Protein backbone atom coordinates (compact mmCIF):
# COMPACT_ATOMS: atom_id res chain seq x y z
CA UNK A 1 0.00 0.00 0.00
CA UNK A 2 1.65 3.24 -1.14
CA UNK A 3 0.45 6.81 -0.83
CA UNK A 4 1.40 10.48 -1.09
CA UNK A 5 0.58 13.10 1.55
CA UNK A 6 -0.71 16.66 1.30
CA UNK A 7 -0.67 19.27 4.04
CA UNK A 8 -3.66 21.57 4.56
CA UNK A 9 -4.07 24.53 6.90
CA UNK A 10 -1.70 27.40 7.67
CA UNK A 11 0.92 25.56 5.65
CA UNK A 12 -0.36 23.59 2.70
CA UNK A 13 0.98 21.73 -0.30
CA UNK A 14 2.48 18.38 -1.19
CA UNK A 15 4.67 16.56 1.31
CA UNK A 16 8.14 16.17 -0.12
CA UNK A 17 11.41 14.86 1.17
CA UNK A 18 14.98 16.12 1.04
CA UNK A 19 17.87 13.74 0.35
CA UNK A 20 18.76 13.63 4.05
CA UNK A 21 15.28 12.28 4.84
CA UNK A 22 13.82 15.52 6.18
CA UNK A 23 10.15 15.79 5.25
CA UNK A 24 8.66 19.17 4.37
CA UNK A 25 5.39 20.58 3.11
CA UNK A 26 5.58 22.48 -0.17
CA UNK A 27 8.83 24.03 -1.30
CA UNK A 28 10.97 22.75 -4.13
CA UNK A 29 11.00 19.10 -3.06
CA UNK A 30 9.42 16.43 -5.23
CA UNK A 31 6.26 14.85 -3.74
CA UNK A 32 7.29 11.76 -1.76
CA UNK A 33 5.82 8.31 -2.04
CA UNK A 34 5.42 6.44 1.25
CA UNK A 35 4.69 2.72 1.42
CA UNK A 36 3.43 0.46 4.18
CA UNK A 37 4.97 -3.00 3.91
CA UNK A 38 2.28 -5.55 4.69
CA UNK A 39 4.83 -8.26 5.55
CA UNK A 40 6.59 -6.37 8.35
CA UNK A 41 4.37 -3.32 9.01
CA UNK A 42 7.18 -0.82 8.35
CA UNK A 43 6.51 2.54 6.74
CA UNK A 44 9.20 3.35 4.16
CA UNK A 45 10.02 6.40 2.07
CA UNK A 46 10.77 6.75 -1.65
CA UNK A 47 14.34 5.54 -1.02
CA UNK A 48 13.26 2.47 0.94
CA UNK A 49 14.30 3.90 4.31
CA UNK A 50 12.17 3.02 7.33
CA UNK A 51 10.31 6.10 8.58
CA UNK A 52 9.91 7.15 12.19
CA UNK A 53 6.82 9.18 13.03
CA UNK A 54 7.21 12.29 15.19
CA UNK A 55 5.65 15.69 15.62
CA UNK A 56 7.56 18.94 15.31
CA UNK A 57 5.88 22.28 15.88
CA UNK A 58 7.48 25.49 14.68
CA UNK A 59 7.88 28.01 17.48
Q: What is the pLDDT of residue 54?
A: 64
Q: What is the pLDDT of residue 41?
A: 87
Q: What is the pLDDT of residue 8?
A: 92
Judge whether residue 3 has pLDDT over 90. Answer: yes
Q: How many CB atoms lie within 10 A of CB 12?
A: 10
Judge whether residue 2 has pLDDT over 60. Answer: yes
Q: What is the pLDDT of residue 21?
A: 82
Which stretch of DSSP H or E encloses residue 23?
A: strand 23-25
Write out pLDDT tens, residues 7-56: 999 889 999 988 888 888 988 888 999 999 888 889 998 888 888 766 66
Amino acid sequence: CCFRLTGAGNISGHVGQLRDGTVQIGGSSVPSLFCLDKTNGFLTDSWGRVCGIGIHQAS
